[in-house]
Structure formats: structure tokens, C-alpha cells
Chain A
Amino acid sequence: DTGVSQDPRHKITKRGQNVTFRCDPISEHNRLYWYRQTLGQGPEFLTYFQNEAQLEKSRLLSDRFSAERPKGSFSTLEIQRTEQGDSAMYLCASSLLSWGAKNIQYFGAGTRLSVL
């Protein structure tokens, strides 16, 4: 499968614990996005990477959230001291930045986080 893969697919954790999610984008894609989606809502932008540089972070992203893309390939999203309000589906998407490209985002299946 050469699409965007996310791991794990599901994560159940207790409030206060730290969790880390991984996203492997399509190999030649240099753009990577993280989104959060709650039930019945559209995905909300969290952060954006171009290669290894994190170029933008949403105001939604509190200090407990951190994302990295150390070698410009896979990315991780860490949530520290999880809260029940962090329960959501975390989606990763990648796209190719090139002249004339449409910035079509290819989404992974997501990681569903449940904080008890």
C-alpha cells in the first residue's frame, strides 16, 4: 500500500497520560498536515510541515501538543497530559508541492483517540 499510513489506528488512554501518533506520508510528498476531527464535524487544521520545517500551527494546538517531522519523511504528533477533550480522530494528510500542482491532499485512515 503506497498511501498515507497512520499508526496506531486506535488508542485508548487514561487522562493524564502521554500519547504519540505516527504518520507515514506518500513517499515523494513534501507537505504534511495534521487535523483533528470530532464526531459530526469537519476536520480542523492543527499543523503543517513542508519537508522537515513546521511552517504553521493552529491556535487550537495547545502547549500539550507537539509535532515533528525530523527527516522530512514520517511525522509524529505527541499529546502530553491527555484530557478527555482530546478524544477525537487525528488525521494526517500529505501532498506534493510543485509548480502547478493542485495541492491534493491524500488522507490516512486516522488514529482514533479515546481518553478515559
Chain B
Amino acid sequence: GQQVMQIPQYQHVQEGEDFTTYCNSSTTLSNIQWYKQRPGGHPVFLIQLVKSGEVKKQKRLTFQFGEAKKNSSLHITATQTTDVGTYFCIIYSGAGSYQLTFGKGTKLSVIP
């Protein structure tokens, strides 16, 4: 099935700094989803990207889907302590499969 590489694995930022996490695939994706998991919590849906070059914003969060639909990014402007958690991208594993593959996640720590 399809694999997705997510980087970085960890990111420590000072409160107020920006943060970006990236997901990369070797194959073209039909869509990509982003989820956030707070420490001790469960994954919560953030957004789905479908169109080539799509950009979506949610307050301080900006999500992008690459033109070739092989990569995606999540950018947080001016991080806050409430942004702490692990951010995952999820893709469908391949044609005819219902399997969803999570990236390994980027764990964000925000230093107040």
C-alpha cells in the first residue's frame, strides 16, 4: 500500500513562533486528511484536502496540498500552548483499499 513520510518527528518551539509539518508521498494521492491528537487524547479531524494546489485556512492553521498531490503541509502561525499535541496526516493506502495509513506524526511542544 501507499506510504507517507511525515517530518519532522518532533518540534519544540517558543510560544509565538511558527510551526510547520510536512507529509510526502511517492505516489499521487486522491486526498489527504490532517488530525490532531492531544497528549493522552484521541485523534481529532482537522481538515481534508482534495484538489491539486488547494490551500485552506482555519484561524492560525494553514493547510496546503501540493500541485502534484504528492505532498501536503500544515503551518501554524504564532503557536500557542493550546497547539501542543501530535499532528498526523492520513492517506488512503491504495486503489481498492479501505485502509487508511497514518503518518508517524509530528509532536509539537510549545515552550511558554
- Given A109-B42, A110-B42, does the pair A42, B104 have CB atoms closer than 8 Å? yes
Cα–Cα, bound, A33→B102 (Å): 13
**A105–B98 contact, CB under 8 A?**
no
Chain B residues, Cβ within 8 Å of A44: 102
**B45 and A42: CB pair below 8 A?**
no
CB-contact partner of B43 in A45, A50, A103, A107, under 8 A: A107
Contacts of B86 in A (CB 8 A): 42
Cβ < 8 Å to A, chain B residues 86-112: 86, 88, 93, 97-105, 107
Q: Cα distance A50–B93 when bound, in Å? A: 17
Interchain CA distance A44-B103 in the complex, whole Å: 10
Partner-B contacts on A (CB < 8 A): 33, 35, 40-45, 48, 50, 55-56, 58, 91, 93, 102-110
**Count of chain B residues with Cβ under 8 Å from any Cβ of A?**
21
Q: Determine whether B68 belongs to the interface, using a CB cutoff of 8 Å to chain A.
A: no
By the criterion CB–CB under 8 Å, are A45 and B101 in contact?
yes
Q: Confirm or deny: B44 has a beta carbon within 8 angstroms of a beta carbon on chain A.
A: yes
* 18 extra interface residue pairs, beta carbon distance < 8 Å, beyond A45-B99, A45-B102: A41-B104, A42-B86, A42-B88, A42-B102, A43-B102, A45-B93, A45-B101, A48-B98, A48-B99, A55-B98, A93-B43, A102-B33, A102-B48, A103-B33, A104-B45, A105-B45, A106-B45, A109-B41
For B48, the chain A residues whose CB sits under 8 A away are 102-104
Chain A residue, CB-CB nearest to B104: A42
Nearest Cβ on chain B to A37's Cβ, whole angstroms = 9
Instruction: Contact check, A56 vs B102: say whether CB atoms are below 8 A apart.
Output: no
Known: A102-B48, A104-B48. A43 touches B43 (CB 8 A): yes
Determine the chain B residues whose CB is within 8 A of the CB of A102 once the complex forms.
33, 48
Offer 6 A-B interface pairs, CB within 8 angstroms, sorted by A: A35-B102, A42-B103, A45-B93, A107-B44, A109-B41, A109-B42
Neighbouring A residues of B35 by C-beta, 8 Å: 105
A50 to B98, CA, bound (A): 10
Shortest CB–CB separation between residue A110 and chain B, in angstroms?
6
Chain A residues, CB < 8 A from B103: 42
